[in-house]
Amino acid sequence: MDGIQRNFQETMPPLSPDEALAEANRCLFCFDAPCIRACPTQIDIPSFIRKIATGNLRGSARVIMESNPLGATCARVCPVEALCEGGCVYNAQERPPIQIGRLQRHATDWLIDSGETTFAAGPDNGKSVACIGSGPSSLAAAVRLREWGYAVTLYEAKPRGGGLDTYGIVSFRLPVEISLAEVGLVERTGATFRYNTRVGTDITVGELLKRHDAVFVGVGLGQPASPGLPGEDLPGVRDTLPFIEETKSRPLDTLSVGRHVLVIGAGNSAIDAATAAGRLGAESVTIVYRRSKEEIPCYGFEFEFAKQEGVRFQWLAAPKRIVGSGKVEGLECVRTRLGEPDARGRRRPEEVPDSTFTIPADMVIKAVGQGPDNGFLSHLGLHLKGPDRLAADRETGATSHPRVFAGGDIVDGRDDATVVAVVAMGLRAAAGLDRSLGSPRGAGATVPAHPKTVIRRSVSR
């Protein structure tokens, strides 16, 4: 394996079986545990950890996948400090929390390596659902619907499934094999994947509604937002998602990267782009951000990772123009200072007069966020929320069309959008869709309509 290949191997090592056993035995097995409450999919974390401790890895993976069908991906990309591990009671003692993410990876890796599955399709209930997109929200919904006996077809524009998990997260955080293994588990439930099929172009939503009893919209935000700078069309200017997609879909040694790379933006995708550029061989990578490090929008662990990777930060600089003749030669910026907080509480950057300066670079990656495919949005013809998000009930996934349900970032793609959040939305929307169709069950069905019931007990006397 050459250097670049090695650079794109997963950074976080797996727990060895001994490490996993020791860590699992550190778990207190809390009752009504705060880690569960902190998980958007409410995985019964103490239970799956106890199963690791007893050597019941299949059972452990079952507990995880039952609540979160993308358990292997989430084990790697969840911001665990802000979720389960942040809830761990050990934090109250300022002791290291249980490494829930790595334990979850231990159990789900076992599942993937074993070739087994924990999903089982229910008996055919005669109904059929189309999922638009095969990202995490659609995959989660598809698993649940297959368990309840629906025929499910996923319409995917790309040649492979998994959406952002497969194409949009750098492989040294989430190997593409893991995402594809989870897609494979969904395929094994009997769900049909129609790849290279873009809804709105190759097939219309109207046709889907004719062919299927209901439609689930599980797409994300795939269109890059533009910072609106002169010079964006210069060779050497890239958008972050296509750049990352290349590193996951093409041989790494065929990719080109600049010697001096600038990344505009400081969100989690910007960190991905910056670290990927560095690992591809860039001599210097600098993130340019209008605010200071106090306002940095990426997760703390991402910021730390970027610093470890040698990524530099140009704080308080507002990009104005990409300069160069025939190719990128630099980024012209104006210095900023922070003024009053904006509506979201972040201090607004104000430009300092006469402070223009240029950072030399031969590659600029734009990472200022993503938006929906507006053509697809208008094709759907559903009510919107705000200018460019699909209006859907976050609890039931219901949209303005009685037979269309939705999850995924297109519903409410916020800055803190996470895989686990859209998985949870997909599961809730599947339940909403199922209820709207009268919760049909095939003959001999054993899977309950809502298999996850949280038993609350209280002392009442």
Partner 1 sequence: MIQNPSPSTIDLSCNVAGIRSPNPFWLASAPPTNSGDQIMRAFDYGWGGAVWKTLGDPIINVSSRLGGLRWRNQPLMGLNNIELITDRSLETNLREIREVKKRYPNHAVVVSLMVESKREVWHDIVKKSQDTGADGLELNFGCPHGMSERGMGAAVGQVPEYACQITEWVKEAATIPVLVKLTPNVADIRYAARAATKGGADGLSLINTINSLIGVDLETLKVMPNVGGKSSHGGYCGPAVKPIALNMLSQIGADPETAHMPISGIGGIGTWQDAAEFLLLGAGGVQVCTAAMHYGYRIVEDMIEGLENYMRQKGWRTLADFKGKAVTQVEDWGNLDLNYKVVARIDPDTCIRCNLCHVACEDGAHQCIAPAAPQDDGRVLAPVVDETECVGCNLCALICPVDGCITMTEIDTGKAPETWREWQNRLAAGASPDDHPGMISGH
Question: Given the rule CB under 8 A, which residues bind partner 1?
Answer: 21-22, 25, 28-34, 53, 89-90, 92-93, 457-459, 461
Min CB(311)–partner 1 separation in Å: 36
Minimum Å gap between C-beta 26 and partner 1 is 9
Closest by Cα among 108, 34, 118, 56 to 77: 108
**At 357, is the secondary structure helix, strand, or coil?**
strand
Q: What is the CA radius of gyration of the chain?
A: 23
Q: Which is nearer to partner 1, 18 or 354 (CB)?
A: 18
Closer by beta carbon to partner 1, 344 or else 461:
461
Q: 76 in the Ramachandran plot: left (φ > 0), alpha (ψ -120 to 50) or beta?
A: alpha
Closer residue to partner 1, CB minimum distance, 25 or 308: 25
Half-sphere exposure of 262 (CA within 13 A, CB side): 27
Closer to partner 1 by CB, 56 or 223: give it: 56
Pairing of strands 237-239, 363-366: parallel
DSSP string, 45-87: HHHHHHHHHTT-HHHHHHHHHHH-TTHHHHHHHS-TTTTHHHH
The CA distance from 59 to 262, in Å, is 46
CB of 6 to partner 1, least distance (A): 33
Q: How far apart are the C-alpha atoms of 80 and 102, rounded to whole Å? A: 10
Which lies closer to partner 1 via its Cβ, residue 34 or residue 86? 34
Nearer to partner 1, 29 or 357 (CB): 29
Q: How far is the CB of 13 from partner 1 (least distance, A)?
A: 20
Nearer to partner 1, 30 or 391 (CB): 30
The whole-angstrom separation of Cα 178 and Cα 70 is 10
CA distance linking residue 160 with residue 134, whole number of Å:
9
Least distance to partner 1, CB of residue 427, Å? 24
CB of residue 454 to partner 1, shortest distance in Å:
14
1 versus 454: smaller Cβ distance to partner 1: 454
Q: How far is the CB of 31 from partner 1 (least distance, A)?
A: 4
H/E run at residue 141? helix 136-147
| Whether 293 contacts 201, CB under 8 Å | no
* Residue 286: its H or E element: strand 284-288
Instruction: At 402, list the tokens.
Output: 């009685």
> Considering the complex, what minimum distance in angstroms separates the CB of residue 53 from partner 1?
7
The separation between the first and the last C-alpha atoms of the chain, rounded to the nearest angstrom, is: 66
